[in-house]
């Protein structure tokens, strides 16, 4: 309470979504509360009070300005009256896309509120967050969801036989896995769970030696067992290959035994690198990189071309820029930024990758080994999305809770770091002074804020956005509804519950979160009826995402479907017409012989549509660097999902530990980079479609695969 300079301010105006109301502002230890005047009944008697609550961790940015809020409206003529220069205001941007503004008559009161909110929001110790002081309401007290995810129980539900009695299972390969407690004290890998599922034929000695070959010691371990064919989803981090093309016989042995668990000798399995190809190659200079595929017998590799955390953060920031006047106006600011954000392109690319991987494991009986750089961002996204499409249990409320606990919380997604729970004062801007010193201070503050937020990224929110797209495409196949996802985004940042406060299982135990905080799943399970889809019909078959059918999640952004997606429909139509005109013009000026010649050249130039061995790692990177400077990337094929690209190049920031943000190019050794494959034309989404067809697969063995 010593941080609060002022606890109550009467008669101030709240602006939200272009509306303005008078009320009273209260500042408490954990919440900002705005109380509206009570409504009156037919006899003019007050009937209850209406309140708007905002917890401090939800605040992303605060601006302290002099004058009226009307000064921020483009149509306002500031020369017409001096009344607009009176008073002060606070503009607050929240992480759940809520925009609030408070207008004060007294500048000193406004300054005291600004300072108080800054001190209450910016903390340096996670134990000071609201979750450690939250007292559950009555309907939540009967739940304890911390115990819902039990590792052995969940993997046995998937079909594994991990019990000591050794009862035979009818599922192929279910007896060939074991539980390892080698990481029980987190010394083997700090960010992995204490218990791990590995092939029964692999000893703990081999495991302890294999960890050194993977970034952050995140060695290959089981994430999901697919009981229908005994295939598995394995997750790990990038190999420490480096420029010298190092190898690890223990790592190779571990994956070989994984592929043998279901008796799949001679079958082709898939190593999935979620990064763009050039990013993976650039990591070789830092001692990491991607697998030398010749060292892994019977394996092919695919690059999913999913961008890193910095690109995703800047993409969402452009959407926030469009919505930034959501406090004082109901109009969007600069709609073209929706196009330039490329957010839907990123979501579409993730669904495209999900479609490929689902068909690979379900139709082609491939084991999947998924990794990105450190294996806790894109790896969690892709592993979870594939499981969601394969297993109907994860499309229920109970199953989804377990999926998040297993593949995100347990396997070390950095919720605290990516969400920015421990905020800095650099997010609070005081614009009340026009002096040169103040301007220099603001520029310095913006730079520091950029540095402080460089590890924040909406990775989990993007995962929920992909699920939203799946729910749109399959409206009766999910037990939970859209509001369930939206409230998850809210509680991702609210810090009211302990589920999203830590970066790994070890931190959860060190902080004693299971004892000192409540699980977020208590909130949802105690209100299950509110988050249940009334049209839900249990569906046991596999879902195949339609990556060409994506839209902005307008409910999350507090807008209508027409406001956000109507503009993009017009833009798409313009692009289609423009492309048709260009094609018609080209068909007149280019002879058929020239077209044939050009087609042949392009086929060799971008021969990354299939899989290859990737044996000459350094030479391929050299050829790419030499050849890319003189070549122009082909135009997109104009798929229905594509968002028109900007005419300007967005500035890419350098990153410390993660991938480089170079343009994505491919080599000619047969590696597949699906996100960069502009010629991949999705004609249908039928189950008999070869996921590796339509991609001009070079490998003859893959061309001859029979898809049942």
Exposure string over 395-425, b if 16+ CB within 10 A, otherwise e: bbbbbbbbbbbbbbbbbbbbbbebbbbbbbe
pLDDT score for 68: 83
> Distance between CA atoms of 198 and 100, rounded to whole angstroms?
50
Q: Which of 639, 349, 685 is nearest to 543 (CA)?
A: 685
What angle is formed at CA 50 by the lines to CA 44 and CA 54, rounded to 5 degrees?
A: 165
> Distance between CA atoms of 484 and 464, rounded to whole angstroms?
10
Q: What is the DSSP string of 126-176?
A: GGGSGGGT----GGGTT--GGGS--HHHHHHHHT---STT----SSTTTTS
pLDDT score for 205: 93
Q: What is the DSSP string of 512-541?
A: THHHHS--HHHHHHTTGGGGB-TT-----S
372 assigned ligand-binding residue: yes
Whether residue 15 lies inside any domain: the answer is: yes
Question: Considering its fold, how many domains does the chain have in total?
Answer: 1
Judge contact between 443 and 404, C-beta under 8 A. Answer: no
Whether residue 297 lies inside any domain: the answer is: no
Three-class SS state of 262: coil
pLDDT score for 7: 92
CB hemisphere CA count around 477 (13 angstroms): 21
> Distance between CA atoms of 467 and 23, rounded to whole angstroms?
38
659 assigned ligand-binding residue: no
**Pairing relation of β-strands 196-199 and 221-226?**
unpaired
Whether residue 504 lies inside any domain: the answer is: no
Three-class SS state of 389: helix
Q: Which of 505, 499, 493, 556 is nearest to 523 (CA)?
A: 499
Summarize pLDDT for 599-629 with one digit per residue, the tens. Answer: 433 333 222 233 333 333 333 333 323 333 3
pLDDT score for 595: 36
pLDDT score for 645: 39
Most distant pair of Cα atoms in the chain: their distance: 87
Summarize pLDDT for 213-235 with one digit per residue, the tens. Answer: 999 999 999 999 999 999 999 99
376 assigned ligand-binding residue: yes
pLDDT score for 621: 33
Reduce the secondary structure of 97-136 to three states and give it as a string: CCEEEEEECCHHHHHHHHHHHHHHHCCCCHHHCHHHCCCC
Judge contact between 211 and 237, C-beta under 8 A. Answer: no
Whether residue 431 lies inside any domain: the answer is: yes
Judge contact between 504 and 191, C-beta under 8 A. Answer: yes
Reduce the secondary structure of 585-633 to three states and give it as a string: HHHHHCCHHHHHHHHHHHHHHCCCCCCCCCCCHHHHHHHHHHHHCCCCC
Beta bridge partners of 94: 59
Whether residue 95 lies inside any domain: the answer is: yes
DSSP tally for the chain: helices H, then strands E: 22, 18
The encoded tokens of residue 12 equal 């101030």
What angle is formed at CA 21 by the lines to CA 114 and CA 14, rounded to 5 degrees?
A: 20
Judge contact between 35 and 24, C-beta under 8 A. Answer: yes
Tell me which residues of the chain have a pLDDT lower than 70: 1-2, 44, 46-48, 74-83, 164-169, 434-452, 570-576, 585-708
What's the start-to-end Cα distance of the chain, in Å?
66
The residue annotated as part of the active site, out of 54, 189, 372, 389, is 372
CATH code for position 57:
2.30.29.30
**Pairing relation of β-strands 88-94 and 99-104?**
antiparallel
Exposure string over 595-609, b if 16+ CB within 10 A, otherwise e: eeeeeeeeeeebbbb
521 assigned ligand-binding residue: no
377 assigned ligand-binding residue: yes
pLDDT score for 243: 93
146 assigned ligand-binding residue: no
527 assigned ligand-binding residue: no
266 assigned ligand-binding residue: no
DSSP 322: H
Judge contact between 259 and 269, C-beta under 8 A. Answer: yes
Whether residue 481 lies inside any domain: the answer is: no
Residues near 470 by Cβ (< 8 Å), separated by ≥ 6?
Answer: 351, 388, 389, 478, 543, 545
Judge contact between 416 and 422, C-beta under 8 A. Answer: yes
Query: Is 372 in the active site?
Result: yes
Judge contact between 458 and 308, C-beta under 8 A. Answer: no
pLDDT score for 70: 78
What angle is formed at CA 555 by the lines to CA 554 and CA 556, rounded to 5 degrees?
A: 90
Q: Scanning the structure block, which residue is given the tokens 């049209």? A: 535
Residue 176 φ/ψ, nearest 5 degrees: -100, 20
Summarize pLDDT for 19-53 with one digit per residue, the tens. Answer: 999 999 999 999 999 998 877 777 767 666 789 99
pLDDT score for 81: 58
Summarize pLDDT for 64-110 with one digit per residue, the tens. Answer: 998 888 777 765 555 555 667 788 999 999 999 999 999 999 999 99
Whether residue 82 lies inside any domain: the answer is: yes
Whether residue 58 lies inside any domain: the answer is: yes
The encoded tokens of residue 279 equal 């990013």
Reduce the secondary structure of 446-470 to three states and give it as a string: HHHHHHHCCCCCCHHHHHHHHHHHH
The encoded tokens of residue 167 equal 């009862």
Domain span at residue 16 reads 8-122+422-450
112 assigned ligand-binding residue: no
């Amino acid at each position: 309470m010593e941080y609060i300079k002022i606890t109550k301010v009467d008669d101030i105006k709240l602006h939200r979504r272009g509306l303005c109301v008078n009320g009273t502002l209260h500042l408490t230890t954990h919440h900002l509360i705005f109380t509206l005047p009570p409504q009156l009944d037919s006899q003019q008697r007050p009937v209850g009070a209406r309140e708007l609550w905002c917890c401090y961790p939800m605040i992303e940015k605060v601006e302290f300005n002099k004058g009226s809020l009307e000064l921020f409206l483009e149509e306002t003529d500031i020369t017409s009256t001096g009344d607009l220069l009176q008073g002060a205001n606070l503009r607050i941007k929240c992480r759940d896309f809520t925009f609030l503004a408070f207008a004060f008559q007294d500048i000193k009161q406004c300054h005291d509120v600004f300072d108080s909110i800054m001190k209450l929001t910016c903390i340096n110790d996670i134990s000071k967050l609201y979750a450690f002081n939250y007292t559950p309401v009555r309907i939540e007290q009967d739940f304890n969801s911390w115990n819902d995810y039990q590792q052995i129980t969940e993997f046995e539900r998937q079909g594994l036989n991990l019990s000591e009695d050794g009862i035979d299972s009818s599922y192929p390969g279910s007896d060939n896995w074991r539980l390892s407690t080698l990481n029980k004290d987190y010394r083997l890998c700090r960010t992995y769970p204490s218990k791990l599922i590995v092939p029964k034929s692999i000893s703990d000695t081999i495991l302890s030696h294999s960890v050194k070959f993977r970034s952050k010691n995140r060695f290959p371990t089981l994430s999901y067992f697919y009981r229908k064919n005994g295939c598995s989803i394995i997750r790990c981090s990038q190999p420490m290959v480096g420029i010298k093309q190092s190898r690890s016989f223990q790592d190779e042995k571990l994956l070989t035994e994984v592929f043998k668990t279901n008796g799949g000798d001679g079958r082709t399995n898939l190593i999935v690198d979620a990064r763009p190809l050039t990013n993976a190659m650039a990591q070789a200079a830092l001692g990491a990189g991607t697998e030398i595929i010749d060292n892994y017998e019977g394996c092919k590799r695919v690059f999913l071309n999913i961008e890193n955390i910095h690109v995703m953060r800047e993409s969402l920031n452009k959407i926030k820029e469009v919505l930034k006047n959501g406090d004082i106006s109901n109009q969007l600011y600069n709609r073209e930024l929706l196009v330039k954000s490329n957010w839907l392109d990123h979501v579409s690319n993730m669904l495209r990758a999900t479609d490929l991987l689902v068909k690979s494991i379900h139709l082609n009986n491939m084991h999947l080994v998924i990794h990105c750089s450190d294996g806790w961002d894109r790896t969690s996204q892709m592993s979870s999305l594939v499981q969601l499409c394969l297993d109907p249990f994860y499309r229920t409320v109970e199953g989804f809770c377990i999926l998040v606990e297993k593949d995100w919380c347990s396997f070390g997604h950095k919720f605290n770091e990516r969400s920015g729970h421990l905020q800095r004062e650099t997010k609070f801007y005081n614009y009340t002074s026009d002096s040169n010193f103040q301007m220099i201070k603001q520029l310095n503050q913006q730079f520091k804020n950029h540095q402080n937020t460089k590890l924040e990224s909406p990775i989990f929110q993007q995962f929920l956005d992909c699920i939203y797209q799946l729910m749109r495409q399959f409206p009766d196949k999910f037990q939970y509804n859209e509001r369930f996802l939206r409230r998850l985004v809210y509680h991702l940042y609210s810090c009211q519950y302990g589920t999203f406060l830590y970066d790994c299982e070890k931190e959860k135990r060190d902080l004693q979160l299971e004892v000192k905080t409540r699980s977020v799943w208590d909130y949802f399970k105690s209100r299950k009826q509110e988050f249940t889809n009334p049209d839900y019909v249990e569906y046991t078959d596999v879902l195949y995402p339609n990556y060409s059918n994506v839209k902005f999640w307008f409910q999350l952004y507090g807008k209508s479907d027409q406001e956000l997606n109507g503009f993009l429909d017009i833009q798409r139509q313009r692009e289609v017409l423009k492309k048709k005109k260009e094609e018609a013009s080209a068909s007149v000026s280019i002879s058929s012989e020239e077209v044939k010649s050009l087609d042949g050249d392009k086929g060799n130039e971008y021969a990354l549509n299939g899989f290859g061995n990737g044996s000459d790692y350094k030479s391929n990177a050299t050829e790419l660097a030499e050849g890319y400077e003189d070549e122009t990337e082909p135009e997109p094929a104009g798929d229905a999902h594509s968002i028109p690209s900007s005419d300007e190049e967005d500035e890419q920031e350098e990153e410390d530990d993660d991938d480089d943000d170079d343009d994505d190019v491919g080599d000619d050794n047969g590696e597949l980079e699906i996100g960069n494959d502009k010629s991949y034309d999705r004609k249908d989404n039928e189950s008999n479609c070869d996921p590796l067809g339509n991609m001009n697969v070079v490998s003859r063995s893959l061309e001859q695969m029979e898809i049942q």
